[in-house]
Amino acid sequence: MECPGFLTVLYCMFTIPGQLGLGKLPWGNWTMACLYTTHYLYRALLSPLLLNPSMSPIHPTVALSAAAWQVINGLSLGGWLAGYGPTTVHDWAGRLYWIEAGMVIWGWALLGNMWHDDDLREIRRSVLRQQQAEADKLPEKDRKPLRGAHKIYKMPKNGLFQLVLYPHYLFEWIEWAGFWMIGGMACVPARSFLFNEVATMLPRALSGRRWYVETFGKEKVGNKKAVIPFLL
């Protein structure tokens, strides 16, 4: 459901310049397009197809809504990068240090996002290994199909999970803040993308913290915040 976003951006990059009579797009445009595509190759293809253990099915309405949002976001960003934003190297002049800083922030935040995502996956993988080990001890006639690992929950404890319950959300926000830095204040699509991410993910994180408290108890959750250490 996240594939339409980066595919839309790439489609815009390869079609709009010719329709507008533009020459080759500057390196800054392609840099942002490549970063966006890299994130969603991980999020839309690598993660669900190769990394994630089996998970609960998603409701079609949620999947369609997410895909529609991705297309709209892809059109917004793709249009800006493909001809309705900067179109020459002069439009990027004087911004090299901001671009470099934004790329460093983006890269480290992506790694933080991936690391904490994988820590959650490891919980599900460890549950599956435990279930398989228990099943192997039983006589073959008594064995039952394994329950999905998503049915059993554990508190994540590594990395920034020591301070917040949704650090992967925080790192994603930092990642897209770095992306906005690359595009500059005038990059309205990058700014809107970041604000939309925060607006949709923050309520989920706050609701998720309440779920953790209800599931594991207030004492076990302790002083961990939802998404921003020591604050929220």
Q: Which stretches does DSSP call E strand in 100-212? A: none
CA 116 distance to own-chain centroid: 11
pLDDT beyond 80 at 178: yes
Tell me the C-alpha distance between 135 and 98, whole Å: 55
Tell me the C-alpha distance between 41 and 49, whole Å: 11
Q: Give residue 150's pLDDT band: very low, low, confident or very high (50, 70, 90).
A: very low
| pLDDT tens column, 87-141 | 999 999 989 999 999 999 999 999 999 999 888 888 877 766 666 566 555 565 5
φ, ψ at 110 (rounded to 5°) = -60, -45
Q: How much is the pTM? A: 0.84
| pLDDT tens column, 34-85 | 999 999 888 777 766 555 655 555 656 766 777 787 888 889 999 999 989 9
pLDDT beyond 80 at 143: no
Distances (CA, A) of 202 to 91, 136, 169: 34, 42, 8
The DSSP code for 23 is -
Percent of the chain topping pLDDT 70: 80
Over residues 9-37, the mean pLDDT reads 91
- The upper half-sphere exposure of residue 18, i.e. CA atoms within 13 Å in the direction of its Cβ, equals 5
